[in-house]
Structure 1
Amino acid sequence: MPRSSSVSPNSLTGLADSLRSLPDKEKETYTLKEAVAALADPIHTALERGYSYPDIAVILHDKGIPISPASLKAYLPRKKQTRRSRKTTSPAAVIEANSTPAPAAEEAEAAPKETAPKRRGRQPGKTKTAATADKAAPKTADKASSKAKAAPARTAAGKDRGRKK
């Protein structure tokens, strides 16, 4: 069994100070995801100029970054979009729009109403148990009658078998 060694408090404080004073160490290698993230702005610029992901992947491969177009697209962070300000209307314009009747509304009433396309999948308001209960009821009746036909008649001696008295 190895012998434990002891460390003095002075050496601990000296070591802590020396570790805190270490300079930042540069990374020697990057993952593909880190490399693409670091090059995100130039890649977005190239995309805006008309280059495709396969074109950019070939350029990166020639410069020493072997990456597929699909990986490039997946690793590339989305470009931050600027928020659009909402259009504001003056209160007078709102009052004017609400006070004048729109002729389009009368035409819309005269036009035939279009029906919404039929929804697929589970419909709101319908539960699975209610839908399957109707289908399950006839099957259970059929199963019960078939079990009654197939089951042998039990005798009085068979009922008492295995029970303690």
Structure 2
Amino acid sequence: MTPELRELVEELRADLAEDQPASLGYAQFGDGAAAEAVPAGTPTGLRDLLLVADGLRAGRIELRSTSTLADIQYYLDSAPDWSPIPADRAGWLVIGTRSDEPIFLERGTGAIWYFPPTGTEWAMSDTFEEIAPDLASFVHYYLLGPGYAELTPAADRWYAFLDEQGLLD
């Protein structure tokens, strides 16, 4: 995680805290995890994020915390047989969700993948795409930037917050 992205997360966390309790309805940025709380074997990019924000919910996107990461790995069991996940389940990690659909991290490369909307349930989709080369890029563009609108069906309160912060340019 770059120092700039770390600073942005911290600034946004402070801005959200100033607007509580209203902001709790559309976003929550957890405090950074203690280093010993991050599970062994956690990929570097995810480890870096968890040390800054242990769990991040922003509108319809949620990246899980150290305590809930294991709870969502069941999504791996529902991945379509044609996708690369069933052949190498250990090579993938579900790091969060987008409107209750999984967001995957490819352990070998650090790339972020998802099943884009195709008009069918994600587990029956015929499309699986890399959305970002690493978690920091995903967070910067899709969670905290203009890419959020590409992943969600309509403008929501988080989108309005990003606009208020000048992050949609």
Report the TM-score, using the length of structure 1 for normalisation. Answer: 0.15
Q: Greater share of strand residues, 1 or 2?
A: 2
Larger relative contact order (Cα-Cα within 8 Å, sequence gap ≥ 6): 2
- Select the structure of larger CA radius of gyration: 1
Normalising to structure 2: TM-score of the pair?
Answer: 0.15
As a proportion of its length, which structure holds more helix? 1
